Structure 1
Amino acid sequence: MALAHRLVGKAARAWWFVTRPRTLGVRAMVLDAQGRVALVRHTFAAGWAFPGGGVKKGEGFEAALARELREEVAIETFAVERVLGVYHSRREYKDDHIVIFVVRLAEGGEAALAKADALEIAEVGWFALDALPEGVSPATGRRIAEYRAGATGGGIW
């Protein structure tokens, strides 16, 4: 299935090259009661990243956030702490705007973290902010550094 996702991704990027669409996305910096961050490895992309994805037409950012957390890591209950920042990406030929939310799970909520969609998610895990796994995506690493510095970010993804 990972091969199928990669092939679909290549076709999508070819379409985006031609159409240059404007897209909206959400990602979640999910923190547990111990201050660890939840990261995922997608089957269609390299590296560890925050869970998240695209905002569908007619869907608000918080609704998309809840849907993506449910679909990717089986998290149903969380509290939005703040918006970490709004970022812009022109990768993959899209004009993409990504809102990063910092969300907290209640004590014991870390047990809920699971691969909700094995076709899309290769691996999930909790990591201390000062002991991230090898292969964290550059953008995810920058967002974690901003969070640790107490900054509200923005600009280039």
Structure 2
Amino acid sequence: MKYIDVAVGVILRDNQAFVCLRASDKHQGGKWEFPGGKVEPGESPELALGRELQEEVAIVTTQCDSLILIEHDYGDKCVRLHVYTVTGFDGEPTGAEGQSGKWLALDNLNYDDFPAANREIIDALMAQQAKTTS
């Protein structure tokens, strides 16, 4: 089985995450997602993350930490998500490729609003938040 490697950035600030709306003509379109994109051949997930976040949301990452690695089979494609929390960045996140973007309180992250593979990201975030606030 061939996996598509994807670098995903959970951009965090003040108990909120920045999310983007997938274009309706894309796979899992019309759902919110954490920004990121495909890892190019020969590229590390960390490098891909920096490149994709610059392209998609116009920020330069200065601090990121690995959160979780997820393998998910959608039936029509398999993805391997290399997920990072991004807690340091230069610039203000915005939908640089014309997509809608918004800050969403972590308490308001709803499974049904995201692609299925993102549910584990939300769970990992909640677990991390529980650890840091206790």
**Shorter-normalised TM-score: what interval?**
0.7 to 0.9
Deviations 1:95-132 (A, max 9, x none): 421111111136xx5x61111111xx2x1011111123
CA distance, structure 1, for counterparts of residue 41 and residue 111 of structure 2:
35
Task: Name the residue aligned to 1:104.
Answer: 87
Structure 2 unaligned blocks of 5 or more:
130-134
Aligned mate of 1:53, from 33, 37, 42: 37
Task: Name the residue aligned to 1:40.
Answer: 20
> With structure 1 as the length reference, what TM-score do the two structures score?
0.69
Structure 1 unaligned blocks of 5 or more:
1-19, 152-157
**3-state DSSP of counterpart to 1:70:** helix
> With structure 2 as the length reference, what TM-score do the two structures score?
0.79
Identity between Structure 1 and Structure 2 (%): 27
Task: Name the residue aligned to 1:78.
Answer: 62
CA 1:143–1:47: 2 relative to 1, 3 Å? same
8 Å Cα contact 1:48-1:135 kept in structure 2: no
Number of equivalences:
124
**3-state DSSP of counterpart to 2:122:** helix
AA in 2 matched with 1:25: V
Alpha-carbon offset, residue 69 of structure 1: 0.5
